[in-house]
Amino acid sequence: MYKKLIELFKDGKVSFKYVKTFNMDEYVGLPRDHPESYHYYMFENFFKHIDIDPKNVHLLDGNAPNLEKECVEYEEKIKQSGGVDLFVGGIGPDGHIAFNEPGSSLVSRTRVKTLAQDTLEANARFFNNDISKVPKQALTVGVGTVMDAREVLFDSFLRGCVY
């Protein structure tokens, strides 16, 4: 999706000058420049290729000194911006959305989550298949945060899924 958006930008068909972004999650403890941090991923694969104003890019800080405060402030930033028009994300193999595992509260807000064993195992592929290198916690928007968006677009990564 990001490649297509970059292509549209380069072709002069779309501008991101006034777009505000709010990423859905971030690992706790990974440096921003770690190749598997969502901060790094978004800048390398999207933001540095478009005309977005850096002050409009909002990413959770998994290295904040107070993670709970970071989550509360993130929710406040979303609220102050007028809410989210469109959340774009994926549904994981076990049905998780962001780092909200199946059974997460439908009214949950941005918070610190301890990752389920299934999630750790699935994400080990991003860490040279070494599960010990996968961060055990992440910051994630809550299901309630996602449901507050005016539009939600999810791609399914379920095995054998038929569209």
Residue 94 appears among annotated catalytic residues? yes
pTM to 2 decimal places: 0.90
Out of 25, 26, 70, 148, pick the active-site residue. 25
Question: Of 39, 70, 96, 148, which residue is the catalytic one?
Answer: 96
Question: Which residue segments constitute the domains of the chain, with CATH numbers given?
Answer: 2-156 (3.40.50.1360)
Q: Which of 85, 94, 121, 155 is catalytic?
A: 94
90 backbone dihedrals φ, ψ, rounded to 5° = -130, 160
**39 confidence band (pLDDT: 50, 70, 90):** very high
CA dihedral of 37, 86, 81, 100, whole degrees rounded to 10: -50
Per-residue pLDDT tens over the stretch 151-162: 999 886 544 444
Vertex 109, ends 71 and 116: CA angle to 5°?
90
Give residue-wise pLDDT tens across range 8-35.
Answer: 999 999 999 999 999 999 999 999 999 9
Average pLDDT over residues 131-144: 97
Question: Could you tell me the pLDDT band of residue 51, with boundaries at 50, 70 and 90?
Answer: very high
Whether 41 and 62 have beta carbons less than 8 Å apart is answered as: no
Active site residue 34: no
pLDDT at 67 exceeding the cut of 50: yes
The residues near 54 (Cβ < 8 Å, ≥ 6 apart) are 47
